[in-house]
């Protein structure tokens, strides 16, 4: 079984000095990437786990960079406009490396599969955005489901490879990881710990209401992390559980920390 080395492989293709100088690169979605790695390694596609993990990391990074592009207007300063334009170009650059690597590997079918996933991700983002802009804000749990679905959609492009006994485990764990990440991200936005993150949720809520939302997010995160722990414990021995355990601990720690800060 090959070690998990997606961050190192991604750095090889993504270390472009101009982008790093002018644009904050989002952290890799480590939880989803680790999950993909251990499942591919347990499947008949273990030989492709490295290239699949690398291209997915690059593609997801490109999507995440685009998500951090704030709307502009005619009154913004030139530097702000340049920064925003560079973020768009940086996202395009990361996505182009995805096509380049898969094409070089002869993975034409996977290019098509992930391209469909990208289109679906963008459609679902727009639908959620327009829904909220129209005043139809979903309840928190429904909102987390929507965001988690967007986060995992790209990784669902590998559903067709992870068949048989792995399929149900893969889908369950991917959904739970997406829910955990959605809750963590919303907590980061609400607490202001990541200024570049942009949430779909409406801003400007009253402080007492916002505090209650923080507490509810921490509770949901704790519950998702517990469900994830139970689901990992049920994995067959062919799947490397040890590589997933740090994810569980990180999510549980985040829920506990945010709960203490809020409380």
Residues whose CB falls within 8 Å of the CB of residue 111, separated by 6 or more in sequence, listed in order: 99, 102, 103
Q: What's the average model confidence in pLDDT over 179-207?
A: 71
**Residue 184: predicted pLDDT:** 94
- Classify residue 104: in a domain, yes or no: yes
What CATH number does the domain containing 229 carry?
Answer: 1.10.600.10
Domain count, the chain: 1
Q: Residue 66 belongs to what domain range?
A: 6-262
- Classify residue 206: in a domain, yes or no: yes
- Classify residue 102: in a domain, yes or no: yes
**Residue 125: predicted pLDDT:** 92
Cα 67 from chain centroid? 11
What percent of the chain shows pLDDT beyond 70? 78
- Classify residue 1: in a domain, yes or no: no
| 126 vs 107: CA distance, rounded Å | 29
- Classify residue 218: in a domain, yes or no: yes
pLDDT band at 213 (very low <50, low <70, confident <90, very high): confident
**Residue 137: predicted pLDDT:** 86
Query: 76-125 pLDDT, tens per residue?
Result: 566 566 666 666 666 677 777 888 889 988 999 999 999 999 999 999 99
Q: What's the average model confidence in pLDDT over 186-213?
A: 64
Q: What's the average model confidence in pLDDT over 27-41?
A: 95
């Amino acid at each position: 079984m090959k070690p998990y080395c997606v961050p190192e492989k991604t750095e090889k293709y993504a270390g472009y000095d101009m982008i790093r100088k002018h644009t904050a690169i989002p952290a890799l979605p480590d939880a989803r990437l680790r999950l993909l790695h251990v499942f591919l390694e347990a499947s008949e596609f273990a030989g492709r786990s490295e290239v699949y993990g690398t291209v997915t990391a690059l593609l997801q990074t490109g999507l995440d960079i685009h998500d951090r592009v704030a709307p502009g207007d005619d009154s913004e300063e030139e530097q702000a406009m340049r920064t925003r334009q560079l973020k768009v170009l940086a996202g395009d650059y990361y996505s182009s490396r995805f096509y380049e690597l898969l094409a070089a590997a002869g993975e034409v079918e996977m290019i098509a599969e992930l391209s469909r996933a990208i289109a679906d991700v963008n459609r679902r983002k727009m639908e959620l955005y327009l829904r909220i802009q129209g005043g139809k804000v979903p309840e928190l749990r429904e909102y987390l489901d929507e965001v988690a679905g967007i986060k995992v959609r790209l990784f669902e492009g590998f559903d067709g490879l992870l068949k048989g006994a792995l399929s149900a485990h893969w889908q369950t764990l991917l959904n739970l990881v997406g829910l955990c990440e959605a809750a963590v991200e919303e907590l980061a936005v609400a607490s202001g710990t990541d200024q570049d993150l942009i949430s779909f949720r409406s801003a400007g809520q009253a402080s007492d209401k916002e505090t209650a939302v923080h507490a509810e997010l921490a509770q949901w995160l704790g519950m998702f992390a517990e469900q994830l722990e139970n689901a990992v414990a049920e994995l067959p021995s062919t799947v490397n559980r040890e590589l997933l355990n740090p994810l569980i601990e990180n999510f549980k720690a985040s829920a506990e920390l945010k709960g203490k800060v809020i409380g």
